[in-house]
């Protein structure tokens, strides 16, 4: 029976969600070029955040196939960095945001950034969180009844 539990836990956890930060010149169509490249290789953008400045933009994306994107960006000399994120399912949508933030505050987990997913895994809203400590945030959120999603959960 212990083996069955271990398999279930491993399957439920899965690989952490990865976020790409892509550095683009601030020019018309730069983001479209990235999205077209991904679409041509059957990769879907699941979440998107853009920070713009006068000369450049940092585009943060969560994709359906991080390994393929890492290869594509390497082949096409697209500069990027990779960060693991916590993605949490919110079954009741925005009404759970206060509960989620209160849980992280009680555990003193700092949030460095967040944005919602464009897709709705399992039909529910989901929030991507860049936090100070992924393991702590995951444990705290699970203990408060939230489902933390893996890359497998959000990929098509």
Task: Please report the domains of the chain, with CATH numbers, ordered by start residue.
Answer: 17-83 (3.30.2130.10), 84-154 (3.30.70.260)
- Separation of alpha carbons 124 and 121, rounded Å: 6
Give the 3-state DSSP-derived string for 112-137, with helices as H, strands as E and coil as C: EEEEEECCCHHHCEEEEEEECCHHHH
The pTM is what?
0.81
Segment-wise mean pLDDT, segments of 10 residues, the chain, 156 residues: 34 79 88 96 94 84 96 95 94 90 95 89 88 95 95 85
Q: Please provide residue 7's backbone torsions phi and psi, each rounded to the nearest 5 degrees.
A: -65, -45
Q: Check if the beta carbon of residue 20 is closer than 8 Å to that of residue 48.
A: no
Q: Which two tokens stand for residue 73?
A: 């960006």
């Amino acid at each position: 029976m212990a083996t069955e539990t271990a398999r279930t836990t491993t399957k439920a956890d899965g690989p952490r969600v990865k976020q790409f930060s892509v550095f683009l010149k601030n020019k018309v169509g730069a983001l479209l070029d990235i999205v077209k490249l991904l679409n041509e290789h059957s990769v879907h953008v699941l979440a998107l955040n853009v920070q713009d400045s006068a000369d450049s933009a940092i585009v943060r994306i969560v994709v359906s196939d991080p390994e393929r994107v890492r290869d594509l960006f390497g082949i096409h000399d697209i500069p990027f960095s990779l960060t693991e994120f916590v993605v949490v399912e919110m079954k009741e949508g925005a009404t759970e945001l206060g509960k989620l933030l209160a849980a992280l505050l009680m555990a003193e987990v700092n949030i460095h950034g967040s944005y919602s997913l464009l897709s709705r895994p399992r039909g529910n809203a989901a929030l991507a969180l860049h936090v100070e400590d992924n393991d702590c945030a995951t444990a705290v959120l699970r203990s408060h009844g939230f489902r933390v999603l893996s890359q497998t959960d959000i990929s098509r």
